[in-house]
Structure 1
Amino acid sequence: MKEYRTRNIEQGTLNGQVGKCLTLFAKTLRPLRLTTLLALLTLSITANAQTIADYQQEAAENNPELKAKYQQYLSALEERPIVGTLSDPEVSFSYFIKPIETRIGPQQGRISISQMLPWFGTLASQRTASDLKAKAKFEAFQEERNQLFYQVEKTMLELYELEESIRIAEENRLILNSLVEISLRRYETDRASQVDVLRAQIEEEDLLIQIELLKDNREVLFQKMNELLNREKGAMIAIPDNLDETELANREALLAQVRQQNPALNRLRYQEEVSDEMKSLAKKQNKPGLMVGVDYIFTGETDMPNITDSGKDALMVMGGIRLPIFSNKNSARVQQAERNRQEAQYQLSSRENTLETELDASLRDYRDAMRRYELYDQKQIQRIQQAIDVMMEAYSSDSSDFEEILRMQRKQLEYQLKRIQAKTAQHIAEAYIEYLTGIHNVKEAGL
């Protein structure tokens, strides 16, 4: 259940009439807070508290684009029995309209069966090339799957950021509302000007507009999340209660994982191996092919008497050879395979450099977000709060500028939002590093 904490606006530093106003306002808000918490409890139970990993798995099972990639892989698997077996034998039948007379009788018809045999090792090379192509397709599927996992996690983190931002903004709205009440009561007792009331009301209305924008952005992300999950629009999405803190490995270990596990690199490696196998296959196709066959000739009875083996059918074994005298096309295949191999090598080298740069950029973003979070969480917000406490106590004795209180309150909201933004940015950078390192790779050909 998402636990919404309402800032205690009774700071302990206000006294007199100011403190009484704050206490009265807080009592008024208690039923509203209770209703809000009960509503949040109901929503949490309805959403079944799914985790980010649950949503990633659901997306893997339901996302149509990922399913299309998986079907491409399954289609590539079906190529092996197509290219790795002998060609179909040829069967022909001949009937002699005018039988050919022989000593033992007239030849009336013939059945021929022949089979073409490729050069030794050709079928094995075709099967190997087919297997490598299928593996490359599987790595393409893995890349799409990891990208989907990253998009799901990124969207959930953005939803978490928006939910926390709305909560923080609502807490600050309550504080601004209390300041409106305080300034109004002071104005009624001639201890503050009407300008103080108007300024507080202006700040509160501005914040309300900001909250509505945050809520609209949250609805857009809900829609995007349901699209990734292939759900109907408006389906319930459970936002995480908190973000788990993890520790990244060092750069060298992460870079080694990228080079070893990244599906895009593995796909290019398989493509390079396919080119090598296709080059070997092209050379084999430049060798002669063998043909073997059998002829069976039907022979009728002869009219001549006393002929041994009269009407005996004839059986003949045939053999042939395919001569690759037009070898230019096979030489071109060899050159084409070599060009493809070099292309895969260049792409592999380029992709490795790009992924290393992306890893360094993500590590930079991760460290920067961590520093910003520590700055806002451990220093700036505490200092702002101390300053507000001091000014509020001074305001109670008519010696502080109310406009400066509002400005500091606005600055506090800004830092609180920046703190949650920094925390989310840290986890998004971590999620992208996981995408680069292929941490979500599957070991078997399945979703």
Structure 2
Amino acid sequence: MRNIKYKQITMWLLAFSLALLPLLSQAQGSRQVDRYLVQGAENNPRLKALFTQYLAALEQIPQVGTLPDPQVTFGYFIKPIETRVGEQKATFSASQMFPWFGTLEAQERVAAQRAKVRLQAFEEAKLELYRDIRVTYNDLYYLQVATQITEENLEILTSFKELAQVYFETGQAGLSAVLQVEMEEEELRSRLEYLVDSKEPLVTKFEQLLNTDLEEPVAFPDSLWEEELLLEKEEIYKVLLAENPRLERLRQEALVYENQVEVAEKMGLPSFTLGAGYTNVAPRNDVEMPDNGQDAFLFPQVGIRVPIYRKKYKAMQQEALLEKEAVELQKENLENQLLTELEEEYRDLLEARRRVALYKRLSNLAEESFSLLQEEFSTGRNSFEEVLRMERQLLSYRLELAEARTALNNQVYNINYLMGSQYETKNR
């Protein structure tokens, strides 16, 4: 009987420790994941590529904002041209073309705006990377919590199995009690193996997001936290339409074509050429005269380019206007898609909140029932099967609660990504 009493006390202590799993605040969880966000931003090849493209786009600004290269020509007369003051031997000229006033500045604005589009693509990818890192970290954490809960339940089942064996040997329970514990134990071991096998693919995904091989295991706080949105639904709508990275990229792209219209207009205006010419004249030996052999200088030499073929420039303007209109329509369509997506994400968020609240209540009730059933079982007022059934129910509720917390956190990350801002979250 002393051995039975010892087994019962051990079983109760294990169940009590399982019931007291601590809940750490979101702030502690965020501190753990922050270093991975920094590591991902520094190492991720996609981010590096997009930022390099932005730097390359910046190099377009001085290219389009600079005057065309000067034109220099040199000519040598194989048969010199006779003039009154001597033979023309060679000629040299240099000219510079000047576009219409403000054309270069307009082209610079287009190039700068295109660079902003590239920068916005980088910002969009960065927010997406942060979201993916947080979600993957959260999923890894769920696996750890689920593994821990399953292992602790296996310990309880081990005590149950030993207790059932003692009861069977003393004639207080049948062989079915031992077999039921063994069946439950086999199911839990199979579930535990699946949880362990599921970890490696997630770790690989996490390393790919960080673009590094982790030398140490992923660091977690002691328990799964709960994220919370800082804004109400109506405010989220407004922030989404104002700051969503995909919408912002389309707004920047529309400005590119708006500036392109101005460039097309200015290209349809005249441009000017300013230059100078020099002709080398050989002196005459057969006569003495003023300016004999005097070289000829021509300055200024002025030219004008007259854009008389207007269809070309009108088509350029119309092209830019149509491109802008297309981007505006894309933006309108994306707004509709994002609002629909937000409705779905918010619905799933509310469902996750309900599930968290539900399984908190059910877990508490199951813990109390489990404790009462153990007391009743120890005094012979209840069957071993009832205790085992409640243990199974308690395990299910704890795993459901961990999964609901994971879903809640991931929904908050998804909604924050849609808003396009790195809102700090707080503990519920």
TM-score of the two chains, using structure 1 as the length reference: 0.86
The code of the aligned residue for 2:8 comes to: L
Whether the aligned pair in 1 keeps the contact of 2:100 and 2:270 (CA below 8 Å) is yes
Say whether 1:335 aligns with 2:318: yes
SS of the residue corresponding to residue 120 of structure 1 reads coil
Aligned to 2:262: 280
Residue 417 of structure 1, CA deviation: 0.6
Residue 241 of structure 1, CA deviation: 3.2
For 1:236 and 1:107, locate their aligned partners in 2 and report how far apart those are by CA, in whole Å.
86
SS of the residue corresponding to residue 394 of structure 1 reads helix
Aligned to 1:198: 179
Query: For residues 111-144 of structure 1, what are the alpha-carbon distances to aligned partners after superposition, in whole Å with 9 as ceiling and x for unaligned?
Result: 1112222222211110001111100110011111
Say whether 1:351 aligns with 2:351: no
Say whether 1:167 aligns with 2:153: no
Corresponding pairs, count: 407
The code of the aligned residue for 1:320 comes to: G
For 1:308 and 1:146, locate their aligned partners in 2 and report how far apart those are by CA, in whole Å.
81
Unpaired segments of 5 or more residues in structure 2? Answer: 18-29, 424-428
Residue 93 of structure 1, CA deviation: 0.5
The code of the aligned residue for 2:124 comes to: E
Q: Which of 61-70 and 324-333 deviates more?
A: 324-333
Q: Which of 424-433 and 297-306 deviates more?
A: 297-306
Q: Which of 399-408 and 326-335 deviates more?
A: 399-408
Residue 261 of structure 1, CA deviation: 2.0
Residue 235 of structure 1, CA deviation: 5.0
TM-score of the two chains, using structure 2 as the length reference: 0.89
Unpaired segments of 5 or more residues in structure 1? Answer: 1-14, 34-48, 442-447
Residue 211 of structure 1, CA deviation: 0.8
For 2:154 and 2:60, locate their aligned partners in 1 and report how far apart those are by CA, in whole Å.
64
Aligned to 1:19: 5
Aligned to 1:114: 95
The structure 2 residue matched to 1:240, chosen from 218, 221, 224, is 221
Query: For residues 389-445 of structure 1, what are the alpha-carbon distances to aligned partners after superposition, in whole Å with 9 as ceiling and x for unaligned?
Result: 33333333445343333222212111101111111111111111221222249xxxx
The structure 1 residue matched to 2:345, chosen from 362, 367, 374, is 362
For 1:171 and 1:267, locate their aligned partners in 2 and report how far apart those are by CA, in whole Å.
50
For 1:200 and 1:435, locate their aligned partners in 2 and report how far apart those are by CA, in whole Å.
46
Q: Which of 125-134 and 301-310 deviates more?
A: 301-310
The code of the aligned residue for 2:347 comes to: R
Say whether 1:376 aligns with 2:355: no
The code of the aligned residue for 1:269 comes to: R
Identity of aligned residues (%): 36
* Shift in alpha-carbon separation, 1:240–1:112, aligned structure 2, 3 A: farther
Say whether 1:407 aligns with 2:389: yes
Aligned to 1:5: none
Whether the aligned pair in 2 keeps the contact of 1:159 and 1:239 (CA below 8 Å) is no
The code of the aligned residue for 2:5 comes to: G
Taking only aligned residues, the RMSD between alpha carbons, in angstroms, comes to 2.3
Say whether 1:94 aligns with 2:75: yes
For 2:126 and 2:10, locate their aligned partners in 1 and report how far apart those are by CA, in whole Å.
55
Query: For residues 141-163 of structure 1, what are the alpha-carbon distances to aligned partners after superposition, in whole Å with 9 as ceiling and x for unaligned?
Result: 11111100000000011111111
For 1:52 and 1:154, locate their aligned partners in 2 and report how far apart those are by CA, in whole Å.
10
* Shift in alpha-carbon separation, 1:131–1:198, aligned structure 2, 3 A: same
Superposed, 1:35-434 pairs within 5 Å as: 51-232=32-213, 235-242=216-223, 243=225, 245-316=227-298, 317-377=300-360, 379-434=361-416
For 2:311 and 2:214, locate their aligned partners in 1 and report how far apart those are by CA, in whole Å.
59
Whether the aligned pair in 2 keeps the contact of 1:18 and 1:396 (CA below 8 Å) is no
Q: Which of 55-64 and 215-224 deviates more?
A: 215-224
* Shift in alpha-carbon separation, 1:235–1:308, aligned structure 2, 3 A: farther
Residue 325 of structure 1, CA deviation: 2.7
For 2:190 and 2:266, locate their aligned partners in 1 and report how far apart those are by CA, in whole Å.
73
The code of the aligned residue for 2:194 comes to: L
Aligned to 1:38: none
Whether the aligned pair in 1 keeps the contact of 2:229 and 2:412 (CA below 8 Å) is no
SS of the residue corresponding to residue 51 of structure 1 reads helix
